[in-house]
Amino acid sequence: MRKAIYAGSFDPLTNGHVDILKRGLEIFDQVILAIANNPNKKHFFDVKERIALAHQATQGLEHVVIDTFDGLLVDYAKTKNATALLRGLRAPSDFEYEFQLAMMNRRLAPQLETTFLMTGEEYFYLSSRLIKEVASFGGDVEHMVPQAVYKALQVRFGGGQT
């Protein structure tokens, strides 16, 4: 089984993330959306909320597993018998950082390949940070994030109800 790990904080999950996930499913038999749980980092949504939102956003997608991990991604990937790490690239500026990560991961776990997918042109400008900032000022992000995330952002910023 060709199993990939698509890891990130997904705080929050965007339509760009979902696009990479769907396209990853065309390459791999299973993709694990692995939500990083770093207790030293301040997150907008806690890990339980991010897991719940990811489950809602991926309903109907077969062969997707939602999980969380602590520590090194390569160690987590070994426990899941993954053969690849799936990463999305938005702009050329992403490449340098992602290349460094891929080389470090290769050094730590040579059996793991990193697969890069370019984000679809309609999503290349999206980032979780930008989504949170726009939403915090009442901007309309409805078509930039899954519906569950949109509703959670509205509740968090006082523009909606649970």
Report the half-sphere exposure of 32 (CA within 13 A, side-chain side).
Answer: 23
Residue 136 annotated in active site: no
The active-site residue out of 3, 90, 93, 129 is 90
**Would residue 129 show up in a list of annotated catalytic residues for this protein?**
no
> Catalytic one among 2, 128, 129, 151?
128
Examine the residue annotation and report whether 128 is marked as an active-site residue of this protein. yes
79 token code pair: 């426990």
* Catalytic entry in 41, 42, 107, 143: 41
Look up 63 and say whether it is catalytic.
no
Residues with a catalytic annotation lie at: 17, 41, 90, 128
